[in-house]
Structure 1
Amino acid sequence: MLGDGFLIPASHDEMTRVIQALAAQNVRLIAINGGDGTVSDVMTAVARFYPSNALPNLAIFPSGNTNLIARDIGFRRRGLAALTQLVRHADTLPRTMRRPLKISWPNDEQDPRLGMFQGSSGYARAIAIAHSPHVLRYAPHNLAVAVTLIGAFGSLLWRRQRETWLSGDRVTLKADGEMLINGQSFLFLSTALRKLNLGIWPFWNGGKAGSDGLHFLHVGDHPAKLLQATWSLLRGSAPTWLRASPDYMSGRAEVLDLTCKGDFVLDGECFAPGADDRILLSEGPEFGFVHD
């Protein structure tokens, strides 16, 4: 159906060259058959080679280990069924405008990256558990966030690991220039998504899930009622006691300035922060996402 437009890059470098060629041809619609990490790679390359005021529309088919982005603004159908629908009805399918999350390294150690779901501290540790072969083999793909969080909290059952996990990592966080956190963090999450799978939504305050900006969640070290909080947040609920607790903080911001030693995760892939352990999180350029 796509002829020469059906492209299967064999490496990240080849994918970058493919996007550069599409930009040179001013291709206005790019379909991505892959998981969150692939979508992040493609958005990053598109933003590099296309003018920011002339970005192509994207269509995302769920086909990876994690498909949070597709669940929010992608196709429900997979593979050939999704492609057939796109080819036949591209002009009439709905399009949602959305700004992804942009991660920048303050000292320009790396080029900025675009994505949708970021995590640091305990989330980065938990991703290592979620990426282990037995979890990837048996865990349902649409439960990626739940499996990761359960893996993180499940480690608390082991005495030798418990204190390391509960102590977390030293974190400073500024939201739109205001210092919010200067201490230990058990878990930190941020996202440009507006919904997750199965009603999971571990964020509150600063507007509803459909509002603009980046949503974030910070869980302090040795948090009180951790299991009760986890159960509530996995069900998309933030009871009054949780909102009032100093151990849990959620909000929304246009720019987050985060310092945290250790790798962070963007759409399932691990990256190192800058030399000063610092990254900037902001809204990226606006894309149009075609979906069913």
Structure 2
Amino acid sequence: MSGAAASPARHIGLIINPQAGKASGKGTALAAKLARDHNISIRTLQRFGDLGQILDGLARDGVTDLFISSGDGTIQEILTEIAERKMFRQTPRLCLLPHGTTNLSANDIGFRGRSTEAEAAFIRNPAASGTAIRHTIRCANPGDGKARHGMFVGTGAVAEATRYCQQAFNQRGVRGQWAVARTLLAALRKHLLGKPANDDESRFDRPFAITVDAGGQRLAEGPQLLQMSTTLDKLALNARPFWGGKTGPIRTTVLPYPVPSVLRWTIPVMYGAENRRAPAGAVSFCGERLEVSSKTVFVIDGEFFAPPRAPLLLETGPAFSFLTG
């Protein structure tokens, strides 16, 4: 009589970016709690140039579950390395610990326990974890020529607002959802007090030349407010500014310029149902691939890159399994 098949052995890895969250110390405190757990491979990312070697070492260690103590920028770099270089024999399950200044991805698919003690306990025993499956968005041809994998890509006002949020709030120690909320309130207030001139670069509620093509069709062209694409279910402030049915891995929304009435449309656009009404000229769709032309910088998971000369190609990347606790 044969016994039940043994579960495959699992090995835990932990990457800590000690500079995450303006050197908040969360990752360092977590590493200290786990220092005596010799079955956990802990690596500290002192320089981004070392990331490839760190991941190669974790692959040699046979890591099956990789925990990441960082913000969105580090996660994007790790996803890119794993997806492009394929150093792991089998892609590890990932767990995002929201230790950064911005934690857009972790707010949707990260570990929900907030204390260091809860994180350490979960890292030691993640077996009963819930999981979420998400594809990356592969930016195939950004301005510097390096393909990138992330969960959110945008241009126009969304890139300008992200830069403003980082400079006005993150650098002063205001982080996470609170910084996003203050950025949104500042933008709404300025918009309601006076319309900007088209060339007023101090405002991000201004027209941006954006063209979007998908499925052999031109879906948006000319002056737009913003374009944003994601594989996450919800964005900052738990917003879901996408509608029309989730029929593909990449959800994209383009909002028009002139800006529709913010008093009428802000809440419906951010939190409406799949069959919501939308302002005239707004476009929301799903797909596996799209092309975006813009002269403004693009933002991918909180990091900026210059637009390429050709349209930016956004395509569906590999699916990752994320441990959520």
Partner of residue 257, structure 1 = 291
Post-superposition Cα deviations, 1:71-102, rounded to whole Å, max 9, x if no partner, equal 21110124633432323322221222221222
Identity of aligned residues (%): 28
Q: Does 1:246 align with 2:269?
A: no
How far has the Cα of 1:174 moved from its partner? 0.8
Q: What is aligned with 1:102? A: 138
Moved more, 145-154 or 172-181: 145-154
1:179-216 C-alpha deviation (Å, 9 max, x unpaired): 11121111111111012354421111133xxx641111
Partner residue, 2:268? 232
Of 91, 101, 107, the residue aligned with 1:71 is 107
- Shift of the alpha carbon at 1:260? 0.5
Amino acid in structure 1 at the alignment position of 2:293? T
Alignment of 1:29-40 (within 5 A): 29-40=65-76
The reply to whether residue 131 of structure 1 matches residue 166 of structure 2 is: yes
Name the counterpart of 2:324: 291
Tell me what 1:195 maps to: 234
C-alpha distance 25-48 of structure 1, shift in aligned 2 (>3 A): farther
Instruction: State the one-letter code of the partner of 2:164.
Output: I
Q: Which amino acid aligns with 1:132?
A: Q
Unpaired runs of at least 5, structure 2? 1-33
Whether contact under 8 Å (2:69, 2:97) holds in the other structure is: yes
> Helix, strand or coil: the match of 1:100?
strand
For residues 10 and 52 of structure 1, do their structure 2 counterparts lie closer, same or farther at Cα, with a shift above 3 Å needed?
closer
CA contact (8 A) 2:71 2:103 kept: yes
Aligned residue for 2:75, secondary structure, equals helix
Match of 2:259 among 180, 204, 223: 223
Gaps of 5+ in 1: none
Match of 1:177 in 2: 216
Q: Whose radius of gyration is greater, 1 or 2?
A: 2
Q: 1:113 to 1:155 in 2, by over 3 A?
A: farther
Structure 2 counterpart of 1:281:
314
Bigger drift between 196-205 and 31-40 goes to 196-205
SS in 1 for 2:97: strand
C-alpha displacement of 1:136: 4.9
What is the alpha-carbon root mean square deviation over aligned residues? 2.8
State whether residues 96 and 289 of structure 1, in contact with CA within 8 Å, keep that contact through their aligned partners in structure 2. Answer: yes
SS for the counterpart of 1:96 is strand
Structure 1 position 222, deviation (Å) = 0.8
Q: 2:157 is matched with which residue?
A: 122
SS at 1:284 equivalent? strand
- The CA deviation at 1:140 is 5.0
In 2, distance between residues paired with 1:146 and 1:40? 23
**What is the TM-score with the length of structure 1 in the denominator?**
0.86
**Secondary structure, in 3 states, of the residue corresponding to 2:307?**
coil
Q: 1:30-83: CA deviations, max 9, x gaps?
A: 110111112111111111332688211111111111212112111012463343
Contact kept, 8 Å, 2:157 with 2:206, in 1: the verdict is: no
Counterpart amino acid of residue 76 in structure 2: S
Three-state SS of the structure 2 residue aligned to 1:193 is: coil
Partner of 2:306: 272
- Conserved in 1, the CA contact under 8 Å of 2:170 and 2:179? no
Distance (Å, rounded) in 2 between the aligned partners of 1:184 and 1:155: 20
Residues 291, 166 of structure 1: CA spacing in aligned structure 2 closer, same or farther, 3 A cutoff?
A: closer
CA shift at 1:110, angstroms?
2.0
> Hey, what's the Cα distance between the residues in 2 that align with 1:229 and 1:201?
13
Contact 1:101 1:191 in 2 (8 A): yes
Higher helix share: 1
1:127–1:199 CA distance, 2 compared to 1 (3 A):
closer
Counterpart residue type for residue 187 of structure 1: L
Change (3 A) 1:257 1:134: closer
Name the CA distance, whole Å, in 1 between partners of 2:41 and 2:88: 23
Tell me whether 258-267 or 50-59 shows the greater mean CA deviation. Answer: 50-59
Matching of residue 111 in structure 1 with residue 150 in structure 2 = no
Q: Residues 240 and 56 from structure 1, CA distance in 2 versus in 1: closer, same or farther, beyond 3 angstroms?
A: closer
User: 1:103-135, CA deviations, whole angstroms, 9 ceiling, x for partnerless residues?
Assistant: 1107x8522111111220011111121011445
Instruction: Tell me if the contact between 1:167 and 1:186 (Cα under 8 Å) persists in the aligned partners.
Output: yes
d(CA) in 2 for partners of 1:138 and 1:144? 9
Distance 2:287 2:274 in 1: 22
